[in-house]
Chain A
Amino acid sequence: MLDLQFLIILLFSPLLQGIIKKIKAWSQGRVGAGVLQPYWDLVRLFRKDMVISKTASWVFHAAPFITFLSVLAASMMVPVISVKGTIFGMGDIIALLYTLALGRFFMVLAGLDAGTAFGGEGSSREATVAILVEPMMMLAIFSTAIAGGSTSLSKLALSVDIFHSPAHVLALAAFFVALIAETGRIPVDNPDTHLELTMIHEGMLLEYSGRYLALMEWAHYMKQMLLFTVAIDLFFSYGIAGGGHGFAALSPLYYALKLLFLAAAMAVAESSRAKLRFFQLPSLLGGAFVLSLLSIITVIMLG
């Protein structure tokens, strides 16, 4: 039964996106669309026909499925509400990140494949951001992994219970910046527009329509929720089932609350910042990289 906990991510990720959008709208003084809007968007997209460029090769057709399935596979490795029942107990945090990277790789290829200028632009930017974010995310994760003595997410979720060292706070700060960059949120990318020349994620998807677009969007929502879940497992796993707290029945509630808290933090961070110019990104991400380096050295040296 617990093997199916990845369904939570599959089914509720559009809802999370809706909630973030709603909070964002509130904090900007708008009413905003209902929280279920992403579901309706997906349903409508699945019903629509597709327009596919003549120059598109098999990569263009394969990319939506590979992206979606890689995110789905990655979400099977994550303890969502219980540390037991990640599929076959296999897969650690490194496997998870590189499964996600596979999906990203095909998304970048697909952006190039359709042969439009915007697609190529989006792809090159996405690749640049990925290069900057990946080492920082890995280091932030390693510092918790050293403290927890394992790279398995289930073990980490059990061991990291409370902020007992400055290293965790530094790692959390770095991870939060990585989260913003990975989910394409405002200082890095603007998720709400197709009209800007600065778009990254939307640029790559510009040639997609109908079912393929729906798959890509859904994969993006899932990836967002998946990364939030990883953050919860790594940094505030208190109350996860199987953790010896005896909160098995309450753990979905804890999970929802923590997710809501993260969503609110993300929405507020997003509406209080202006989007950075693309060439200023390295200094933001470089600062976060230094944070994660400091975190890892603190954890090694202070023990």
Chain B
Amino acid sequence: MLKRWIEIFSIIDFIAVGMLLSVIAMNSLKRIESCLKAYIINSSLLALLMVATAIYLSIPHLYLAAFFTIAGKCILIPYFLRKVIRQLKVTHDVEPYISSSLSLAASFAIVTIVYSVLSEGIFVAGLTRTVLKISVSIILISLFVMMTRKKAVTQVMGLLFMENGLFLAGFSLTFGMPTIIELGVLFDMLMGVLILGVFLSQIKKAFVSVDLDKLTSLKG
């Protein structure tokens, strides 16, 4: 019953497009708190996608992966990042290198290129058809966001989005790696965020600001 609904309403496509939208929203979000919310939405959609696939293809161990995704990416990482942001007292990333409408246009260009490049070749069959394209777009767009933002915090957010995209790409090709690997990836991510958090507060201590432009003043 549920399987048929997922088929009819193409729920998997919808969730994947939702993930893409939440990444594109990053381009125009100025408040760091809203970026964090976009990340939480993105991760919950990822977990939802896993659940939908688990139901659709009857792969029970994906439920476990979805659970860990929610625990790690929707609760632990945002909680820790929020703490770091409070400590750093940065609320806005007001001056990205290019304007938000231009970066929206750029991310659209990225999506177009990805869609047209990946529409031929070996990866065009079955379930992965949409999801793979979208995951590659997510990776490239979040890379772009990392490049255009000045504050270190938003760059960390870009990295997190990128990891979600990579996870999605891997997931769409393999339908869930062995649980132990997924756990390992998640743990790595958590550690990465912890280290980056400490690193951020060190930057803040040494340079007073987390604006990465100011790092060049070292050269003196």
Seen from chain A, the residues whose Cβ lies within 8 Å of a Cβ on chain B are 163-166, 169-170, 282-283, 286-287, 290-291, 293-294, 297-298, 301-302
With A301-B133, A302-B130: A290-B108 Cβ-Cβ less than 8 Å: yes
Docked complex Cα distance between A170 and B101 (Å): 18
Q: What is the total number of residues of chain B having a CB less than 8 Å from a CB of chain A?
A: 26
- Name the one of B10, B18, B101, B107 contacting A282, with C-beta atoms under 8 angstroms: B101
B9 touches A297 (CB 8 A): no
- Name the one of A163, A286, A302 contacting B101, with C-beta atoms under 8 angstroms: A286
The 3 closest A-B pairs by CB, nearest first: A166-B17, A286-B101, A301-B115
* Chain B contacts with A in 86-133, Cβ cutoff 8 A: 100-101, 104-105, 107-108, 111-112, 115-116, 119, 129-130, 133
A294 touches B108 (CB 8 A): yes
List 7 other contacts, CB 8 Å, given A164-B9, A286-B105: A166-B13, A169-B17, A286-B100, A286-B104, A290-B24, A290-B107, A297-B115
Chain B nearest Cβ from A297, distance in angstroms: 6
Chain B nearest Cβ from A294, distance in angstroms: 7
- For A287, what are the chain B residues with a Cβ–Cβ distance below 8 Å? 28, 104
With A290-B24, A297-B112, A297-B115: A169-B14 Cβ-Cβ less than 8 Å: yes
24 residue pairs A–B, Cβ–Cβ below 8 Å: A163-B9, A164-B10, A165-B10, A166-B17, A166-B18, A169-B14, A169-B17, A170-B17, A170-B21, A282-B101, A283-B100, A283-B101, A286-B100, A286-B101, A286-B105, A290-B105, A290-B107, A291-B21, A294-B20, A294-B21, A294-B24, A294-B108, A297-B115, A301-B133
Q: What residue in chain B is nearest A300 (Cβ atoms)?
A: B115
- For A163, what are the chain B residues with a Cβ–Cβ distance below 8 Å? 9
Docked complex Cα distance between A287 and B17 (Å): 16
- For A286, what are the chain B residues with a Cβ–Cβ distance below 8 Å? 100-101, 104-105
A290 touches B104 (CB 8 A): yes
- For A169, what are the chain B residues with a Cβ–Cβ distance below 8 Å? 14, 17
A301 touches B119 (CB 8 A): yes
A166 touches B28 (CB 8 A): no
- For A165, what are the chain B residues with a Cβ–Cβ distance below 8 Å? 10, 13
B28 touches A283 (CB 8 A): yes
- For B16, what are the chain A residues with a Cβ–Cβ distance below 8 Å? 166
- Name the one of B14, B112, B129 contacting A166, with C-beta atoms under 8 angstroms: B14
- For B130, what are the chain A residues with a Cβ–Cβ distance below 8 Å? 302
- For B24, what are the chain A residues with a Cβ–Cβ distance below 8 Å? 290, 294
A293 touches B28 (CB 8 A): no
- For B119, what are the chain A residues with a Cβ–Cβ distance below 8 Å? 301
Chain A nearest Cβ from B127, distance in angstroms: 13
Chain B nearest Cβ from A300, distance in angstroms: 8
Q: What residue in chain A is nearest B15 (Cβ atoms)?
A: A166
Docked complex Cα distance between A301 and B112 (Å): 9
- For A291, what are the chain B residues with a Cβ–Cβ distance below 8 Å? 21
- Name the one of B10, B100, B111, B129 contacting A294, with C-beta atoms under 8 angstroms: B111
- Name the one of B17, B100, B107, B116 contacting A298, with C-beta atoms under 8 angstroms: B17
